[in-house]
Structure 1
Protein backbone atom coordinates (compact mmCIF):
# COMPACT_ATOMS: atom_id res chain seq x y z
CA UNK A 1 0.00 0.00 0.00
CA UNK A 2 1.81 3.09 -1.26
CA UNK A 3 1.51 6.49 0.42
CA UNK A 4 3.21 9.83 -0.09
CA UNK A 5 4.71 11.70 2.87
CA UNK A 6 5.26 15.35 1.91
CA UNK A 7 7.08 16.86 4.88
CA UNK A 8 10.02 19.30 4.88
CA UNK A 9 10.84 18.79 8.56
CA UNK A 10 13.44 16.08 7.99
CA UNK A 11 13.68 15.17 11.66
CA UNK A 12 9.92 14.58 11.83
CA UNK A 13 9.93 12.68 8.53
CA UNK A 14 12.78 10.44 9.71
CA UNK A 15 10.67 9.48 12.75
CA UNK A 16 7.44 8.97 10.83
CA UNK A 17 8.71 6.97 7.86
CA UNK A 18 9.88 3.85 9.75
CA UNK A 19 6.70 3.86 11.87
CA UNK A 20 4.56 4.01 8.73
CA UNK A 21 6.61 1.22 7.14
CA UNK A 22 6.19 -0.93 10.25
CA UNK A 23 2.43 -0.34 9.90
CA UNK A 24 2.62 -1.89 6.41
CA UNK A 25 2.90 1.13 4.12
CA UNK A 26 5.33 1.72 1.27
CA UNK A 27 6.38 5.34 1.84
CA UNK A 28 7.59 7.85 -0.73
CA UNK A 29 9.01 10.83 1.19
CA UNK A 30 9.53 14.22 -0.45
CA UNK A 31 10.35 17.56 1.17
CA UNK A 32 9.38 19.91 -1.67
CA UNK A 33 5.87 20.88 -2.76
CA UNK A 34 6.56 20.75 -6.49
CA UNK A 35 7.98 17.25 -6.23
CA UNK A 36 5.00 16.20 -4.11
CA UNK A 37 2.58 17.59 -6.69
CA UNK A 38 4.35 15.75 -9.52
CA UNK A 39 4.49 12.41 -7.71
CA UNK A 40 0.82 12.68 -6.79
CA UNK A 41 -0.05 13.08 -10.46
CA UNK A 42 1.91 10.08 -11.74
CA UNK A 43 2.14 7.52 -8.91
CA UNK A 44 -0.56 5.07 -7.88
CA UNK A 45 -1.13 6.22 -4.30
CA UNK A 46 -3.54 4.97 -1.66
CA UNK A 47 -3.15 8.16 0.42
CA UNK A 48 -0.97 11.22 1.01
CA UNK A 49 0.18 12.97 4.17
CA UNK A 50 0.87 16.61 3.36
CA UNK A 51 2.44 19.40 5.43
CA UNK A 52 0.92 22.76 4.49
CA UNK A 53 4.20 24.67 4.86
CA UNK A 54 6.12 22.99 2.05
CA UNK A 55 8.80 24.95 0.14
CA UNK A 56 8.50 25.38 -3.63
CA UNK A 57 4.71 24.97 -3.62
CA UNK A 58 2.60 25.16 -0.48
CA UNK A 59 0.53 22.20 0.64
CA UNK A 60 -2.83 23.81 -0.13
CA UNK A 61 -1.79 24.42 -3.73
CA UNK A 62 -0.49 20.86 -4.03
CA UNK A 63 -3.84 19.44 -2.91
CA UNK A 64 -5.83 21.81 -5.13
CA UNK A 65 -3.82 20.75 -8.18
CA UNK A 66 -4.33 17.08 -7.42
CA UNK A 67 -8.07 17.53 -7.06
CA UNK A 68 -8.21 19.71 -10.16
CA UNK A 69 -6.66 16.85 -12.13
CA UNK A 70 -9.04 14.24 -10.75
CA UNK A 71 -6.66 12.65 -8.23
CA UNK A 72 -9.02 11.41 -5.52
CA UNK A 73 -6.81 9.49 -3.07
CA UNK A 74 -7.39 10.58 0.56
CA UNK A 75 -5.19 13.37 1.92
CA UNK A 76 -4.29 13.87 5.58
CA UNK A 77 -2.97 17.37 6.29
CA UNK A 78 -0.21 18.00 8.84
CA UNK A 79 0.31 21.55 10.04
CA UNK A 80 1.28 23.76 12.95
CA UNK A 81 -1.67 26.01 12.05
CA UNK A 82 -4.45 25.09 14.44
CA UNK A 83 -6.97 27.88 13.84
CA UNK A 84 -10.35 26.95 12.42
CA UNK A 85 -10.09 29.11 9.29
CA UNK A 86 -6.77 27.39 8.47
CA UNK A 87 -8.49 24.01 8.80
CA UNK A 88 -11.37 25.22 6.66
CA UNK A 89 -8.92 26.30 3.95
CA UNK A 90 -7.42 22.80 4.00
CA UNK A 91 -10.81 21.11 3.64
CA UNK A 92 -11.83 23.56 0.89
CA UNK A 93 -8.64 22.64 -1.01
CA UNK A 94 -9.69 18.98 -0.94
CA UNK A 95 -8.10 17.54 2.22
CA UNK A 96 -9.94 14.70 3.96
CA UNK A 97 -8.58 15.05 7.49
CA UNK A 98 -6.43 17.44 9.50
CA UNK A 99 -3.84 16.80 12.22
CA UNK A 100 -2.26 19.67 14.13
CA UNK A 101 1.37 19.52 15.27
CA UNK A 102 2.49 18.29 17.74
CA UNK A 103 0.66 14.97 17.48
CA UNK A 104 1.02 11.33 18.47
CA UNK A 105 2.29 9.04 15.71
CA UNK A 106 -0.27 6.39 16.70
CA UNK A 107 -3.09 8.87 16.07
CA UNK A 108 -1.70 9.66 12.61
CA UNK A 109 -1.60 5.97 11.69
CA UNK A 110 -5.13 5.36 13.00
CA UNK A 111 -6.50 8.32 11.04
CA UNK A 112 -4.65 7.25 7.92
CA UNK A 113 -6.06 3.73 8.13
CA UNK A 114 -9.57 5.10 8.60
CA UNK A 115 -9.22 7.36 5.54
CA UNK A 116 -7.98 4.53 3.35
CA UNK A 117 -10.69 2.18 4.61
CA UNK A 118 -13.41 4.71 3.83
CA UNK A 119 -11.95 5.46 0.41
CA UNK A 120 -11.91 1.76 -0.47
CA UNK A 121 -15.50 1.31 0.64
CA UNK A 122 -14.88 -2.09 2.24
CA UNK A 123 -12.37 -3.80 4.49
CA UNK A 124 -11.43 -6.63 2.15
CA UNK A 125 -9.87 -4.61 -0.69
CA UNK A 126 -6.94 -6.60 -2.04
CA UNK A 127 -4.52 -7.10 -4.90
CA UNK A 128 -3.69 -10.59 -6.15
CA UNK A 129 -1.12 -12.35 -8.30
CA UNK A 130 -1.76 -16.08 -8.40
CA UNK A 131 -1.57 -17.48 -4.84
CA UNK A 132 -0.21 -14.17 -3.51
CA UNK A 133 -2.58 -11.58 -2.05
CA UNK A 134 -2.06 -8.14 -0.53
CA UNK A 135 -4.82 -7.23 1.93
CA UNK A 136 -4.63 -3.49 1.46
CA UNK A 137 -6.38 -2.22 4.56
CA UNK A 138 -4.87 -4.87 6.84
CA UNK A 139 -1.42 -4.12 5.41
CA UNK A 140 -0.36 -7.76 5.06
CA UNK A 141 0.50 -10.35 2.42
CA UNK A 142 -0.97 -13.83 2.24
CA UNK A 143 0.49 -16.74 0.28
CA UNK A 144 -2.05 -19.48 -0.38
CA UNK A 145 -4.12 -17.99 2.42
CA UNK A 146 -1.32 -17.95 5.01
CA UNK A 147 0.27 -14.71 6.31
CA UNK A 148 3.78 -13.99 5.03
CA UNK A 149 6.41 -12.81 7.48
CA UNK A 150 8.25 -9.95 5.74
CA UNK A 151 10.81 -7.35 6.77
CA UNK A 152 9.89 -3.70 6.00
CA UNK A 153 12.15 -3.71 2.93
CA UNK A 154 10.74 -7.03 1.71
CA UNK A 155 7.24 -5.62 2.15
CA UNK A 156 8.12 -2.50 0.15
CA UNK A 157 9.65 -4.53 -2.67
CA UNK A 158 6.77 -6.99 -2.86
CA UNK A 159 4.20 -4.17 -2.66
CA UNK A 160 5.79 -2.46 -5.65
CA UNK A 161 5.77 -5.70 -7.63
CA UNK A 162 2.13 -6.52 -6.87
CA UNK A 163 1.06 -3.01 -7.87
CA UNK A 164 2.79 -3.63 -11.24
CA UNK A 165 2.17 -7.35 -11.93
CA UNK A 166 3.83 -8.68 -15.06
CA UNK A 167 5.77 -5.45 -15.63
CA UNK A 168 9.54 -5.65 -15.95
CA UNK A 169 11.15 -3.33 -13.38
CA UNK A 170 14.81 -2.38 -13.58
CA UNK A 171 17.40 -2.28 -10.81
CA UNK A 172 17.49 1.50 -10.48
CA UNK A 173 13.70 1.82 -10.19
CA UNK A 174 13.47 -0.96 -7.60
CA UNK A 175 16.32 0.57 -5.62
CA UNK A 176 14.53 3.93 -5.54
CA UNK A 177 11.30 2.33 -4.31
CA UNK A 178 12.78 0.01 -1.70
CA UNK A 179 15.65 2.08 -0.35
CA UNK A 180 13.98 5.51 -0.70
CA UNK A 181 16.53 6.75 -3.23
CA UNK A 182 19.53 5.83 -1.05
CA UNK A 183 20.47 2.64 -2.92
CA UNK A 184 23.94 2.21 -4.38
CA UNK A 185 23.31 0.50 -7.75
CA UNK A 186 26.70 -1.22 -7.49
CA UNK A 187 25.85 -2.92 -4.19
CA UNK A 188 24.26 -6.36 -3.92
CA UNK A 189 21.64 -5.32 -1.32
CA UNK A 190 18.80 -5.60 -3.85
CA UNK A 191 19.98 -9.03 -5.02
CA UNK A 192 20.05 -10.25 -1.42
CA UNK A 193 16.53 -8.91 -0.86
CA UNK A 194 15.24 -10.56 -4.03
CA UNK A 195 16.84 -13.83 -3.01
CA UNK A 196 15.07 -13.76 0.37
CA UNK A 197 11.72 -13.04 -1.28
CA UNK A 198 12.18 -15.86 -3.78
CA UNK A 199 12.80 -18.31 -0.94
CA UNK A 200 9.55 -17.20 0.70
CA UNK A 201 7.41 -17.11 -2.46
CA UNK A 202 8.99 -19.79 -4.60
CA UNK A 203 11.54 -18.98 -7.27
CA UNK A 204 9.02 -19.06 -10.12
CA UNK A 205 7.06 -15.97 -8.98
CA UNK A 206 9.86 -13.41 -9.36
CA UNK A 207 11.37 -13.84 -12.81
CA UNK A 208 14.65 -12.38 -14.00
CA UNK A 209 14.51 -10.72 -17.43
CA UNK A 210 18.14 -10.70 -18.52
CA UNK A 211 19.55 -7.23 -19.03
CA UNK A 212 16.27 -5.53 -18.02
CA UNK A 213 15.24 -6.40 -14.47
CA UNK A 214 12.59 -8.51 -12.74
CA UNK A 215 8.84 -9.09 -12.82
CA UNK A 216 6.23 -10.69 -10.59
CA UNK A 217 4.15 -13.38 -12.32
CA UNK A 218 1.62 -15.99 -11.26
CA UNK A 219 3.01 -19.53 -11.38
CA UNK A 220 1.98 -21.52 -14.46
Structure 2
Protein backbone atom coordinates (compact mmCIF):
# COMPACT_ATOMS: atom_id res chain seq x y z
CA UNK A 1 0.00 0.00 0.00
CA UNK A 2 1.46 3.32 -1.04
CA UNK A 3 1.14 6.57 0.89
CA UNK A 4 -0.76 9.39 -0.77
CA UNK A 5 1.74 12.24 -0.54
CA UNK A 6 -0.92 14.75 -1.65
CA UNK A 7 -3.18 13.97 1.33
CA UNK A 8 -3.18 16.53 4.14
CA UNK A 9 -1.18 15.57 7.24
CA UNK A 10 -1.37 17.13 10.68
CA UNK A 11 1.74 18.82 12.06
CA UNK A 12 3.06 17.37 15.29
CA UNK A 13 3.70 19.64 18.28
CA UNK A 14 7.48 19.54 17.86
CA UNK A 15 7.07 20.49 14.18
CA UNK A 16 4.99 23.54 15.16
CA UNK A 17 7.56 24.57 17.78
CA UNK A 18 10.47 24.18 15.35
CA UNK A 19 8.66 26.14 12.62
CA UNK A 20 7.82 28.96 15.04
CA UNK A 21 11.42 29.19 16.27
CA UNK A 22 12.87 29.20 12.75
CA UNK A 23 10.18 31.54 11.41
CA UNK A 24 10.57 34.11 14.18
CA UNK A 25 14.36 34.03 13.92
CA UNK A 26 14.18 34.71 10.16
CA UNK A 27 11.72 37.57 10.70
CA UNK A 28 13.87 39.02 13.47
CA UNK A 29 17.10 38.85 11.48
CA UNK A 30 15.39 40.61 8.57
CA UNK A 31 14.14 43.34 10.89
CA UNK A 32 17.62 43.82 12.34
CA UNK A 33 18.93 44.27 8.78
CA UNK A 34 16.22 46.85 8.20
CA UNK A 35 16.95 48.72 11.42
CA UNK A 36 20.70 48.82 10.68
CA UNK A 37 20.02 50.23 7.19
CA UNK A 38 17.30 52.64 8.45
CA UNK A 39 14.57 50.97 6.40
CA UNK A 40 11.01 50.00 7.17
CA UNK A 41 8.46 47.45 6.06
CA UNK A 42 4.72 46.99 6.25
CA UNK A 43 2.29 45.72 8.86
CA UNK A 44 2.84 46.28 12.57
CA UNK A 45 6.58 45.64 12.18
CA UNK A 46 6.90 48.59 9.81
CA UNK A 47 4.85 50.80 12.10
CA UNK A 48 7.04 49.79 15.05
CA UNK A 49 10.21 50.57 13.08
CA UNK A 50 8.94 54.02 12.12
CA UNK A 51 7.99 54.75 15.73
CA UNK A 52 11.42 53.56 16.87
CA UNK A 53 13.11 56.02 14.50
CA UNK A 54 10.90 58.86 15.73
CA UNK A 55 10.79 58.13 19.47
CA UNK A 56 13.91 56.09 20.19
CA UNK A 57 11.84 53.45 21.99
CA UNK A 58 13.24 49.96 21.25
CA UNK A 59 11.50 48.05 18.47
CA UNK A 60 10.71 45.04 20.64
CA UNK A 61 8.62 46.99 23.14
CA UNK A 62 6.75 48.86 20.40
CA UNK A 63 6.11 45.72 18.36
CA UNK A 64 4.78 43.79 21.35
CA UNK A 65 2.52 46.66 22.46
CA UNK A 66 1.07 47.45 19.02
CA UNK A 67 0.03 43.82 18.58
CA UNK A 68 -1.91 43.53 21.84
CA UNK A 69 -5.32 44.70 20.46
CA UNK A 70 -5.18 42.18 17.61
CA UNK A 71 -5.25 39.20 19.95
CA UNK A 72 -8.98 39.79 20.47
CA UNK A 73 -9.57 39.12 16.76
CA UNK A 74 -7.19 36.16 16.91
CA UNK A 75 -9.17 34.54 19.73
CA UNK A 76 -12.65 35.36 18.41
CA UNK A 77 -12.05 34.55 14.75
CA UNK A 78 -9.08 32.16 14.58
CA UNK A 79 -9.32 30.26 17.88
CA UNK A 80 -7.19 29.87 20.98
CA UNK A 81 -4.47 27.65 19.44
CA UNK A 82 -3.77 30.27 16.74
CA UNK A 83 -3.85 33.09 19.30
CA UNK A 84 -1.45 31.33 21.66
CA UNK A 85 1.03 30.49 18.88
CA UNK A 86 0.80 34.05 17.57
CA UNK A 87 1.37 35.53 21.02
CA UNK A 88 4.45 33.30 21.38
CA UNK A 89 5.67 34.33 17.92
CA UNK A 90 5.32 38.05 18.65
CA UNK A 91 7.09 37.61 21.99
CA UNK A 92 9.94 35.72 20.31
CA UNK A 93 10.36 38.38 17.61
CA UNK A 94 10.42 41.06 20.32
CA UNK A 95 13.06 39.07 22.21
CA UNK A 96 15.21 38.13 19.21
CA UNK A 97 15.30 41.64 17.73
CA UNK A 98 16.47 42.97 21.10
CA UNK A 99 19.29 40.41 21.40
CA UNK A 100 20.49 39.67 17.86
CA UNK A 101 22.64 42.87 17.90
CA UNK A 102 24.41 41.32 20.94
CA UNK A 103 25.02 38.09 19.03
CA UNK A 104 26.23 39.53 15.71
CA UNK A 105 27.89 42.82 14.81
CA UNK A 106 26.79 44.32 11.50
CA UNK A 107 29.11 47.32 11.20
CA UNK A 108 28.05 48.16 7.63
CA UNK A 109 25.26 46.95 5.37
CA UNK A 110 24.27 48.04 1.88
CA UNK A 111 20.66 49.33 2.03
CA UNK A 112 19.64 47.60 -1.21
CA UNK A 113 21.05 44.30 0.05
CA UNK A 114 19.32 44.84 3.40
CA UNK A 115 16.00 45.55 1.68
CA UNK A 116 16.04 42.55 -0.68
CA UNK A 117 17.61 39.93 1.57
CA UNK A 118 15.93 41.24 4.71
CA UNK A 119 12.57 41.29 2.93
CA UNK A 120 13.18 37.75 1.71
CA UNK A 121 13.99 36.50 5.22
CA UNK A 122 10.92 38.20 6.70
CA UNK A 123 8.73 36.74 3.95
CA UNK A 124 10.07 33.21 4.44
CA UNK A 125 9.70 33.54 8.21
CA UNK A 126 6.08 34.67 7.93
CA UNK A 127 5.39 31.86 5.45
CA UNK A 128 6.74 29.33 7.94
CA UNK A 129 4.44 30.74 10.63
CA UNK A 130 1.40 30.86 8.34
CA UNK A 131 1.81 27.19 7.43
CA UNK A 132 1.75 26.26 11.11
CA UNK A 133 -1.28 28.40 11.94
CA UNK A 134 0.64 31.23 13.58
CA UNK A 135 1.60 34.76 12.62
CA UNK A 136 3.56 37.77 13.81
CA UNK A 137 0.35 39.47 14.82
CA UNK A 138 -1.33 42.62 13.65
CA UNK A 139 -2.27 42.78 9.99
CA UNK A 140 -1.08 39.18 9.54
CA UNK A 141 -3.98 38.04 11.73
CA UNK A 142 -6.48 40.03 9.69
CA UNK A 143 -4.89 38.82 6.43
CA UNK A 144 -5.16 35.17 7.47
CA UNK A 145 -8.74 35.63 8.61
CA UNK A 146 -9.76 37.21 5.29
CA UNK A 147 -8.03 34.46 3.29
CA UNK A 148 -9.53 31.61 5.34
CA UNK A 149 -13.06 33.04 5.36
CA UNK A 150 -13.39 35.08 2.15
CA UNK A 151 -10.71 33.70 -0.18
CA UNK A 152 -8.80 37.01 -0.30
CA UNK A 153 -5.09 36.28 -0.81
CA UNK A 154 -3.20 37.08 2.38
CA UNK A 155 -0.19 38.41 0.46
CA UNK A 156 -2.18 40.73 -1.77
CA UNK A 157 -4.24 42.12 1.11
CA UNK A 158 -1.13 42.80 3.13
CA UNK A 159 0.51 44.42 0.12
CA UNK A 160 -2.26 47.04 0.12
CA UNK A 161 -1.90 47.72 3.82
CA UNK A 162 1.87 47.88 3.50
CA UNK A 163 1.51 50.50 0.77
CA UNK A 164 -0.25 52.83 3.21
CA UNK A 165 2.45 52.35 5.86
CA UNK A 166 5.23 52.87 3.33
CA UNK A 167 3.61 56.08 2.12
CA UNK A 168 3.77 57.32 5.71
CA UNK A 169 7.50 56.50 5.69
CA UNK A 170 8.09 59.40 3.25
CA UNK A 171 7.46 61.72 6.21
CA UNK A 172 10.04 59.95 8.40
CA UNK A 173 12.82 58.49 6.24
CA UNK A 174 15.04 59.82 3.42
CA UNK A 175 13.56 59.28 -0.03
CA UNK A 176 16.06 56.62 -1.10
CA UNK A 177 15.46 54.55 2.04
CA UNK A 178 11.72 54.52 1.33
CA UNK A 179 12.37 53.30 -2.22
CA UNK A 180 14.58 50.51 -0.88
CA UNK A 181 11.89 49.67 1.68
CA UNK A 182 9.27 49.40 -1.07
CA UNK A 183 11.48 46.95 -2.98
CA UNK A 184 11.88 44.86 0.17
CA UNK A 185 8.12 44.88 0.78
CA UNK A 186 7.52 43.64 -2.78
CA UNK A 187 9.91 40.73 -2.23
CA UNK A 188 8.30 39.89 1.11
CA UNK A 189 4.73 39.92 -0.15
CA UNK A 190 5.44 38.09 -3.39
CA UNK A 191 6.93 35.23 -1.38
CA UNK A 192 3.71 34.98 0.63
CA UNK A 193 1.36 35.50 -2.33
CA UNK A 194 3.16 32.89 -4.43
CA UNK A 195 3.53 30.22 -1.77
CA UNK A 196 0.64 30.69 0.66
CA UNK A 197 -2.50 29.82 -1.26
CA UNK A 198 -5.02 26.98 -1.29
CA UNK A 199 -3.59 23.71 -2.58
CA UNK A 200 0.06 24.81 -2.52
CA UNK A 201 0.78 23.19 0.88
CA UNK A 202 -1.26 20.36 2.36
CA UNK A 203 0.08 20.11 5.91
CA UNK A 204 -2.01 21.59 8.72
CA UNK A 205 -1.83 22.27 12.46
TM-score of the two chains, using structure 2 as the length reference:
0.32
More strand by percentage? 1
Task: Report the structure number with the largest CA radius of gyration.
Answer: 1
Higher relative contact order (CA 8 A, sep 6+): 2
